[in-house]
Amino acid sequence: MSERSERTGGAAAQPHRREGASGRVLRFRFDGREYEGLEGDTLASALLANGVRAVASSIRLGRPRGVYAAGSEEPNALVQIEEPFPEPMLQATTVELYDGLVATGLPGQGRLADRPDPARYDAVHAHCDVLVVGAGPAGIAAAGVAARAGARVILADERPEPGGSLLGTAETLDGRPGREWAAEEVAALAALPEVRVLRRTTVLGHYDDNHVIAVERRTNHLGAAAPPTWRASACGGSGPGAWCWRPAGTSGSSPSPGTTCPG
């Protein structure tokens, strides 16, 4: 077992289990060691639930690095997916767990694949009147207002589940739990003919003439179970008449002694 995969406790209590992770047991391998997680886990939450605190190491001195955040703002827990196809420099907090996942922690840099990528990719030109980035409560509300006004709307969010800051909290909206409110509101939006909801979609940049580039990850969470006829991802361009940036609330970090130490 490598130093990165040191354990500080058993998996029995699993205090770091991601909300919504339940049901089917998934088996995965990290740094050469076998573990079990639950459907709905990320790689980070599954590792924490199994007692793994040191996930990666620093690039210069090899100091251990642990999970620091809960999403794409994660600065430390960088991993490489080894199977079914190598993909480096991914954040463990954004890698959805699937059965048979094989990954390793990285010392700040990854390794490119030494064979052709068998996956196929799409390029899509999508057009809308309003693009909303972020399916948190503000983004969902903004998309709803635009849709009811008759606009063509695209609602994009990098997570597999809408809700943003509502996920993992006890907040309520309109008398309903936040998670339930978000799911129902987004389902109602998706049923409208002029609304497109894109999950697992990262908006990369906003350019001249209101041109926006986004990448939708369609099969990353399926691993080897992904149907061979599916496109792995789609890179799309959009020229919205207006766009609304509504990222889910994420608190910034303040450096203090010991913040780089796992645990």
Can you tell me the distance from the alpha carbon of 235 to that of 150, in angstroms, rounded to the nearest whole number?
Answer: 26
Tokens read off for 190: 């998706």
Question: If we measure between CA atoms, which residue out of 4, 63, 64, 58 comes closest to residue 31?
Answer: 4
Q: What is the pLDDT of residue 249?
A: 54
Pairwise pLDDT comparison (222 vs 143), residue with the higher score: 143
pLDDT in tens, 169-200: 889 999 999 999 999 999 999 999 999 999 99
Question: If we measure between CA atoms, which residue out of 200, 193, 205 comes closest to residue 245?
Answer: 205
Mean pLDDT of the chain: 84
Do residues 197 and 190 make contact, with C-beta atoms less than 8 angstroms apart?
yes
Q: What is the pLDDT of residue 14?
A: 54
Mean pLDDT to the nearest integer, 50-57: 94
Q: What is the pLDDT of residue 257?
A: 66
Answer yes or no: is pLDDT of 37 > 90. Answer: yes
Answer yes or no: is pLDDT of 104 > 80. Answer: yes
Q: What is the pLDDT of residue 1?
A: 37
Mean pLDDT to the nearest integer, 23-41: 93
